[in-house]
Amino acid sequence: MKIKLKEAADLVGGVVIGNSQTELTGIAKIEEAKKGDLTFLYLPAYEKFLNSTEASAVLISPEFRKTRTDINYIEVKNPNVALQKIIITFLQPKINLTGIDKTASIHDSVIIGKNVSVGKNVVIEAGAIIGDNSIIYHNSVLMENVKVGSNCLIYTNVSVRENCVIGNNVIIHSNTVIGSDGFGYIPDEKGVYQKVPQVGNVILEDNVELGSNVSIDRAALGSTIIKNGVKIDNLVQIAHNVSVGDNTAIASQSGIAGSTTIGKNCILAGQVGIVGHIEITDSVIVGAQSGVSKSITKPGKYRGSPADDMGKMLKLEAHIRNVPSYAEKIKKLEEKIASLEEKISQIISKGT
C-alpha cells in the first residue's frame, strides 16, 4: 500500500485537515500505529491514545477534538466504515493460487468453468460442477454431485459432502464441514441407538461467508438452508433441517438444534444456544450466552437463559448481582423488627 492522504479522503468523502500529500504506507490500530500508518478513532475509549499515537494520519469523526497539530486528520462521519472501505480498496488480500495443480484429483465427469483455480491434493468427485472464477485451496474435498457457483473462495481442508449446493460469491474458511450427517438416531427395543440415514443436503445461497471449523449438518430429508448474505463466525454448529434467513449473522460458539427456523436480519451473539423445532422471527438480536427455549415471535432484543426481553433480563441480572447486599439489608431489618417487637412486648408487659 502506498497512497496519498488525499486519495484516501476522496475515497471515503472525508475532509483533510493537514497535508493532503502525506504518503500512507500502512494501516494500524491507534495505539500501535507508526509513521506512515493511517489509523482511526471512533470510540471515546480510544481517545486517550490520540496524544501518543505515532500515526501519520487519523480517520476521525467531527465530535472528537483535534488536539494535535503535528499529525493529519481525515474528518469523516463514520471512521469505522471509512476504514473498511479503504482496506477493501487498497489492502484486499491477493490470491496467488492460479490454474489447476497437478496433484489435484478431479473426476473426468466434473464440469469446471472459466478461470477456476484448484490447489494441491484437492479431491473433486464425480458429477461435481465448479462455476467461473472460483478458487479451491489445498487439501479440500468436494464429494459426488457437489455444485459450487461462480466467484467462490474455498480455503484449505474444507469438506463438502455429496449433493450439497454452494451459491455464488461464497467464502468458506479452513476446516469447515458442509453436509456432515445430522444427529439422527432412534433407540431400538433394547435401548440401543440405531442410526437414521440422513439423505438430504445443505444449500448455501449467494454471498454467504462461513468461518473456520463451522459444521453444517445435512438434512434428514430435504435441505438445511443458509440463505443469501448470511455470515457465520468460527466454531458454529448448525443441525439438520435448520433454515437461516437472509443477512443473519451468527457469532462464534453458537449452536442451533435441528429443524429450527431463524428469520432475516437476525443477530446471534457468541455462545447462543437454540433448541430444535422452534421459529425465530425477523430482526431479532439474541445476547451472548443466551439459551432460546421457545419460539420468538416479536422482533427485538433478547437475553438470558431462558431468553427473554433484554431490558427485563438486564434488570433481573442487576438484582441478582445485588442479592448479597439485599440479604444484608434484610438481616438488619429483621434485627430491627426483632428489637421493636421486644420493646413492644416489654411495654405491654409493664402496662398489664
Query: Which residues have a catalytic role annotated?
Result: 240
Cβ atoms of 2 and 24 within 8 Å: the answer is yes
Distances (CA, A) of 323 to 104, 304, 308, 319: 63, 18, 21, 6
For the chain, how far is it from start to end, CA to CA, in angstroms? 97
- Residue count of the chain, please give it: 352
Answer positive or negative: Cα dihedral of 331, 335, 341, 342. Answer: positive
Cross-strand bridge partners of residue 195: 185
Beta bridge partners of 317: none
Give the SS3 label for residue 249: strand
Q: Say whether 100 sits in a helix, a strand or coil.
A: strand
Residue 302 half-sphere exposure, CB side, CA atoms within 13 Å?
28
> What are the φ/ψ torsions at residue 13 (nearest 5 degrees)?
70, 35
Task: Kindly give, in sequence order, each residue whose CB lies less than 8 Å from that of residue 188, ignoring residues fewer than 6 positions away.
Answer: 194
CB count within 10 Å of CB 134 equals 24
Report the distance separating Cα 137 and Cα 174, nearest Å: 9
Any idea which residue has 487498497 for its cell? 90
- For the chain, the C-alpha Rg in angstroms (whole number) is 29
Distance (Å, whole) CA 129 – CA 152: 12
- Which stretch of DSSP H or E encloses residue 80? helix 79-90
DSSP at 196? P
Residue 124 CB contacts under 8 Å (≥ 6 apart), including other chains: 104, 105, 106, 107, 110, 118, 130, 136, 141, 142, 146
